[in-house]
Structure 1
């Protein structure tokens, strides 16, 4: 996928947003879970503290005694992570067996009667523990004794539970992220589907199947469609005006050209043949320009807004050959029309006649004795070949440039093949020149994808001609 792709940008933006949202939510859930476990731990400590308070007492000698120990068996296991400790204001203390031979260092905290404080402290072996403590006042022989009770639990339990939760949560979030990424891909595809419809609409306009983009599009895209359709209408109007101006100009030149030809005839009758010949050559060149401009004005924009034309090739070629056979160049060559009766191409008959007429006339002018016409129906491709001197491969591309002639002789203006290509461009077709099997030039017209496919294949091994041709 191209890095400039709109789909890629939308999907990448959606995936990044999903990752950020999942990361933030995952971290928040871990924090919430840790707080929940800590609250649960604090509630358990409060229960143990109440059990410890229920069993503590002071004997007549003022010593601390424990009449009932907390029921949790971890208090009896050394360094189990659950501890209790009782001390009075005289420095006497009792400890759970789980503390073994150590004591908890409690902060200097002033406790009010009945108050329960919770805080973190350092337990046996450097453990980080959560401590819940409470102070009560007992009586021994009528003397008050302040007793400080503390219950603590190792916070490693909270850390372990949080880590296990985070691992399970990470797996769930990864799966959720994959599902959301796939949903984003589908959502973007559905959202961009109208653009694909617009692309097909533009292709239909280029192919001449329709004149405007479809109006049944989402609201967000409708302004773009309306602007494009308005642009198409404006462009078609400008093209139509340009065609009219070109046609008016060409028709306006025909009358002066006819008068110029008449003047040349009168000069010839007076015996001024050289001047008459020069005038006739100039008039012929100007007439050729006028005819080609009329053809280009006629064909430009023809495909847009009209149904695709279809022309049977063989009858048209037969008509062109019959006409050329009556000319001096056509009368001296043999035409081989190898085109099947069923072959037709999606081109207007007049435009196809303009194309083939130029190519066949050009081939007849330079052929030694044979002109062959064939069609490759799979593309389709129409080929005109001759057995003339051909064109050097190095010069083939220059021949298609406007006004270029490899010979500077003859009366033609050098526009033939270039004008053929102009007409083909209106239909999305192209012209390819190569060396014919007959030894001369092969001119093939075909849809552009077919030409591109052919050029990407193996090069022809035909030997190049050693003579510079005069085929323009």
Structure 2
């Protein structure tokens, strides 16, 4: 099963490469160690052969081969010790041996080459154990007698095998420690290599939250083409959003004059006593005006993330301006405002006024005498002492995409608020206020900047 983690994928690939490299290195080191031991044995064999050759002579009286001085190592005197030597006249009529052979004879691997050099080969010992043998051909002169002698020294390879195995075991432990260290270093290296992608992810998150418009321009050459492509898409999207907002604004302004004329006609009809027709035209005009206002809010909401990058709107100023405006409508409503001192939110000022203005207007329309607005840590609450939600309307209000303007207890303003909040990834919550009426809460804490 393929993993979707790039970090884990790179780590596993690197770990496999490290494991393969360490295995090959381990095998190579073991072979080099074994070869070194055998070279050391070659030197020992050469020394023993020279010692043995220096102690060989031919008896002048009998013509027999004698050894006056054997190899110096005492292990040649121990039976089956793994240290063996033997010498023979070239026609094998007489062979002398080390006591360690116990009367056994080792095979001579040479072909009778009398070049005075030591030739190395592998042979089998008395117990069929592997031996490393060195053979030399020498000529001895005793008076008129001249004989060609073959000298063989063989050492047991069991010690080499044992040393190789011990070295291999110790090497495995060392290589495991190295592998762990390299794996940790590689994990850090992969993290450093993927760090630019983490930066990109953070910047994309900031773009989604509206904290920035474009990705950073400086980055590794391998990542820069991606950054340029994404920035190009963002620029094109911003232009498209701006064009859509302009078209919506043009549409709204294009409808403004006909709506004004329609309102004037309604007033003329009312003056002529045509009250039913005038009221019908006024209702149509008011509905068209509200729908145009909502579509303008939606068009503006589509461009919110581009306008809130540098927005740090002071909440107290917005609430104060809205309360003063609503207080001049002549309604006998007392407004209470409890705003956290110095509180600011990364929300466009017009958007915040759209949200709070519609909530306060809705609360004032249904309140008996009191409306309270509070803001703390980016969380806003608007309450009134009116009748609250009509029975059975709370479920519809809480539904995603519910037409709040069709519930009877809340106007089109709440639908506009919901459109703006959707663009910010926020939502409204409805409950019963301790004042007796509706309590509407909005959580914009993620945009609090104070």
TM-score range relative to shorter protein: 0.7 to 0.9
1:324-403 equivalences in 2 (<5 Å): 324-325=326-327, 331=332, 334-340=334-340, 342-367=342-367, 370-376=370-376, 379-387=377-385, 388-390=387-389, 394-398=395-399, 400-401=400-401, 403=403
2:430 match: secondary structure: strand
What residue number does 2:83 align with? Answer: 82
Change (3 A) 1:303 1:159: same
Q: Deviations over 1:343-386 (max 9, x none)?
A: 4433333221111111122233444654321122xx32111123
1:116-265 equivalences in 2 (<5 Å): 116-138=118-140, 145-206=147-208, 208=210, 210-265=212-267
Change (3 A) 1:392 1:169: farther
CA distance in structure 2 between the partners assigned to 1:51 and 1:242 by the alignment: 104
CA distance in structure 2 between the partners assigned to 1:340 and 1:53 by the alignment: 107
Q: Is the 8 A contact 2:140 2:146 kept in 1?
A: yes
Q: Is the 8 A contact 1:264 1:280 kept in 2?
A: yes
The TM-score normalised by the length of structure 1 is 0.81
1:430 match: secondary structure: coil
CA distance in structure 2 between the partners assigned to 1:108 and 1:367 by the alignment: 118
The TM-score normalised by the length of structure 2 is 0.84
What residue number does 1:464 align with? Answer: none
2:70 match: secondary structure: coil
CA distance in structure 2 between the partners assigned to 1:255 and 1:120 by the alignment: 112
Change (3 A) 1:224 1:297: same
Q: Which moved more, 1:32-41 or 1:82-91?
A: 82-91
What residue number does 1:434 align with? Answer: 430
Gaps (5+ residues) in structure 1?
A: 452-472
What residue number does 1:53 align with? Answer: 53
Q: Is the 8 A contact 1:198 1:213 kept in 2?
A: yes
Change (3 A) 1:257 1:79: same
Q: Is the 8 A contact 1:64 1:94 kept in 2?
A: yes
Change (3 A) 1:180 1:410: closer
What residue number does 1:446 align with? Answer: 443
Q: Deviations over 1:44-83 (max 9, x none)?
A: 2122122222222332334331111111121112222211
Q: Is the 8 A contact 1:207 1:303 kept in 2?
A: yes
What residue number does 2:98 align with? Answer: 96
Change (3 A) 1:411 1:136: closer
Q: Which moved more, 1:6-15 or 1:305-314?
A: 305-314
2:311 match: secondary structure: coil
Change (3 A) 1:97 1:417: farther
Give the C-alpha shift of residue 393 in structure 1. 6.1
Change (3 A) 1:397 1:306: closer
Gaps (5+ residues) in structure 2?
A: none
What residue number does 2:69 align with? Answer: 68
Aligned residues: 440
The root-mean-square deviation of aligned C-alpha atoms, in Å, is 3.3
